[in-house]
């Protein structure tokens, strides 16, 4: 009978340990997603130029990360999360391209990227004078449009390195390419942006 009670106790203890571990993992993942979600949204928004679509893409990326990679080391989550998100953005662009071709075939104009209203989707920063806010908003809107016009790989490299602050190795993992490619794409992106925005932007 003692053996029976002991096996029950071990079973319960094992279940409790697993439950505690899962709860800790859940809290850890919650902290990670809460920390990264706003920047991820803005990065996706600049890529697809639509906040609702960007919100869907970020949510999909969060769900996929939780479903497939929650048991990975938390250090790996950032590049994995952005890899999922970038794949989602690429799929979105492919679907949009197909959709636009179909709409053109039926004689209706496609939903061009130029429909993006940077002013309407501009954030509402606080704590500064209206002039400062306006200047910052205008500068960010100009930057957003310029970044959005970059070739996809350059845009990804620039946003992951500059906006998210990933290092070269992390960016390479997120983009699914070599570190050398990241350096090339990033360098070209910065030069292209500086050229298109002009000296006065700085």
Partner 1 sequence: MKERKDKVADEAFADKAKQLFDESVEGLDGETRSRLNRGRQAALNELTAGRSVWVQWAPAAGVAAAAVVAIVLWTGNPPVDELTPEASATDFEILLAEDSFEMLEDLEFYSWIDLDEDAEVAVEAEDIVG
- Interacting residue ranges for partner 1, rule: CB under 8 A: 1, 3-5, 7-8, 10-12, 14-15, 18-19, 22, 25-26, 29-30, 33-34, 37-39, 41-42, 51, 55, 58-59, 62-63, 65-67, 70, 122-126, 136, 139-140, 143, 161-163, 165, 187, 190-191, 193-194, 202
**Taking the CA atoms of the chain, what radius of gyration do you get in angstroms?**
22
To partner 1, the closest distance from the beta carbon of 101 in angstroms equals 30
Q: According to DSSP H, which parts of 74-158 are helical?
A: 77-105, 130-148, 152-158
To partner 1, the closest distance from the beta carbon of 37 in angstroms equals 5
Integer Cα distance of 103 and 84 in angstroms: 28
**Closer Cβ to partner 1, 2 or 114, answer by number:** 2
Integer Cα distance of 161 and 173 in angstroms: 12
**Closer Cβ to partner 1, 38 or 99, answer by number:** 38
To partner 1, the closest distance from the beta carbon of 151 in angstroms equals 17
To partner 1, the closest distance from the beta carbon of 97 in angstroms equals 26
**Closer Cβ to partner 1, 66 or 177, answer by number:** 66
CA–CA distances in Å: residue 61 to residues 22, 23, 43, 69, 160? 20, 21, 13, 11, 15
Per the CB < 8 A criterion, the answer to whether 182 and 172 are in contact is yes
């Amino acid at each position: 009978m003692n053996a029976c009670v002991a096996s029950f106790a071990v079973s319960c203890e094992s279940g409790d340990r697993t439950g505690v571990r899962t709860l800790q993992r859940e809290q850890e993942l919650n902290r990670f997603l809460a920390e990264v979600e706003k920047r991820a949204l803005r990065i996706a928004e600049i890529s697809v130029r639509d906040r609702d679509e960007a919100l869907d893409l970020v949510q999909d990326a969060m769900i996929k990360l939780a479903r497939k990679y929650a048991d990975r080391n938390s250090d790996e989550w950032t590049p994995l999360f952005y890899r999922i998100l970038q794949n989602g953005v690429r799929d979105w662009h492919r679907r949009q391209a197909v959709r636009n071709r179909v709409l053109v075939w039926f004689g209706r104009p496609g939903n061009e990227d130029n429909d993006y209203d940077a002013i309407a989707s501009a954030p509402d920063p606080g704590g500064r004078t209206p002039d400062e806010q306006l200047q910052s908003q205008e500068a960010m809107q100009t930057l957003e449009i310029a970044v959005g016009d970059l070739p996809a790989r350059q845009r990804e490299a620039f946003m992951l390195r500059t906006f998210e602050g990933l290092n070269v190795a992390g960016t390479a993992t997120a983009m699914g390419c070599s570190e050398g490619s990241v350096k090339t794409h990033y360098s070209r992106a910065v030069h292209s942006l500086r050229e298109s925005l002009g000296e006065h932007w700085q």
